[in-house]
Structure 1
Amino acid sequence: MTRTLYLFGTAAPPVMDIAQVISDVQTRGWDVRLGLTPTAARWLGPVLPDLERRTGAPVRSEYKLPGEPDVWPKADVILVAPATLNTINQWALGLTEKFVVGVVAEGIGKKIPMVTMPCVNAAYVQHPQFEQSIETLRDAGVTVLYGEGGFVPNQPGESRPYPWRAALDAVDRRV
């Protein structure tokens, strides 16, 4: 039986590693569909054809037109990583202008298992909406990997490895 993972990336530096993440997910036995925010899609523009080849499906960053068939199978689980401050807040507030946010906002109501791991610096997390958004998503049943065992904010301009393995392990546990 094929398991389908929707991997949704946003415009944070770890999205540049998404090709390797796709390979890692496939090694774990998942069929992957890649969705990106518009900015992340622009960042990855030159490699989008390769990402489509790797997944065997279109990379999506926009809603399909009304009446168009959905070319993706249903998701067994959704991983949103890296998730920016903007995406976390939009998701928690139900602001669904972006394709990936619309899918995960609806995913709460559809009871699709979901995991997210932010990628925000220590200055962004001082915004009062961020902690409220994290709690809203957790209360809605989303596994949020933030803090010990997940993503720990770094200082602005600081770079360190993104804990992709923690995100993929959490996906495996959600199914």
Structure 2
Amino acid sequence: MREKPFLYVVVCAAGIAGDVRRLIAAAQQSGWDVGVIATPHAVPFLDVPSVEAQTGYPIRSAWRRPGDPRPLPPADAMAVAPATFNTINKWAAGIADTLALGTLCEAYGAGVPTAVVPCVSAELTAHPAYRQSLERLRGMGVRIGEGSAAAGGFRWEEALELLARPA
């Protein structure tokens, strides 16, 4: 039995993704063990060796082969930060074409508490598909933060605050 609950941090390809270590540190200080799942396009934004040293786990971005061991324990909760327009819309539509999206789609069926902190420009937030996707995710029980597209306005800790609230 694990001593600490396990948090999956799903990272998308937003300009601020390289700062995900702030969320990891806050989660660890709050008593979580953390593993990172990155969209394939997010990986170049990350300092992979540094993040892996911080978490003690490999960053996951691709499917494992049949028979390979699972490199991360099962998630007790998930935080998607920063969450991009593309990921939010695909997730809400049930598109599981990457490990990150497949994991998020499965989380719903497994009842894993999930929080999302968007990092989407004002122009993209005006798109009707985005608003519909947020409504669908809310209907699935996903806890949605305010987020921000600006690096200085993005509050990484918001994901943890959302997960700490009763569902």
Q: What's the TM-score bracket when you normalise by the shorter of the two chains?
A: over 0.9
Which residue is equivalent to 1:42? Answer: 44
Query: Displacement of 1:132 after TM fit?
Result: 0.7
Report the AA paired with residue 66 of structure 2.
P
Which residue is equivalent to 1:151? Answer: 147
Does the 8 A contact of 2:7 with 2:77 survive in 1? yes
1:169 is the counterpart of 2:129:
no
Which residue is equivalent to 2:130? Answer: 130
Does the 8 A contact of 1:114 with 1:174 survive in 2? no
Query: Displacement of 1:151 after TM fit?
Result: 2.1
Does the 8 A contact of 2:80 with 2:159 survive in 1? no
Gaps of 5+ in 2: none
Q: How many Å separate the matches in 1 of 2:21 and 2:158?
A: 17
Q: How many Å separate the matches in 2 of 1:111 and 1:87?
A: 20
Which residue is equivalent to 1:16? Answer: 18
* Number of equivalenced pairs: 165
Identity of paired residues, percent? 37
Query: Displacement of 1:174 after TM fit?
Result: 5.4
Report the AA paired with residue 23 of structure 1.
A
Report the AA paired with residue 76 of structure 2.
D
Report the AA paired with residue 156 of structure 2.
W
* TM-score, length basis structure 2: 0.92
**Could you give the per-residue CA deviations for residues 35-81 of structure 1, whole angstroms, max 9, x where no partner exists?**
1111110222xx20111111111100111112212121111100001
Q: Does the residue aligned with 1:39 lie in a helix, a strand or coil?
A: coil
After the TM superposition, list the runs of 4 or more consecutive aligned residues in structure 1 that deviate by more than 6 angstroms.
none
Q: How many Å separate the matches in 2 of 1:138 and 1:151?
A: 15
CA-based RMSD of the aligned residues comes to 1.6
Q: Does the residue aligned with 2:25 lie in a helix, a strand or coil?
A: helix
**Could you give the per-residue CA deviations for residues 94-140 of structure 1, whole angstroms, max 9, x where no partner exists?**
11111111001011011111000111011111222101100111101
